[in-house]
Every structure is written in C-alpha cells, then in structure tokens.
C-alpha cells in the first residue's frame, strides 16, 4: 500500500525458513546465485 506523503511502500518481509539449521548454510545467503538451485 502506497503512502502518498512519504512516497514509501509497506513491505512485509518474507518469513520463509532461513535454511539455517543449528549450523550450515542458507542458499540465499551463502550462494552468489540467490536462487540456489532449480526446483
């Protein structure tokens, strides 16, 4: 939804799993290619 006064729009940040277990990597974070793989 656009806020006309500030020219900003509201974004809800995605809550999808981080991919970070107790340790290890998240493809979005670790890999240069943000898609991480074709599904």
Coil, helix or strand for 33?
coil
* Least Cβ distance, residue 18 to another protein (angstroms): 6
- Smallest distance from another protein to CB 26, Å: 8
Residues lying near another protein in the complex (CB under 8 A): 2-3, 6-39
| Dist. CA 19–CA 21, nearest whole Å | 6
Closest CB 1 distance from another protein, rounded Å: 10
State both tokens at 25: 């990597």
3-class DSSP assignment, residue 21: coil
């Amino acid at each position: 939804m656009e806020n006309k006064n500030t020219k900003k729009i509201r974004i809800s940040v995605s809550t999808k799993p981080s991919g970070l277990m107790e340790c290890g990597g998240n493809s979005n974070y670790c890999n240069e290619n943000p898609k991480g793989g074709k599904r």
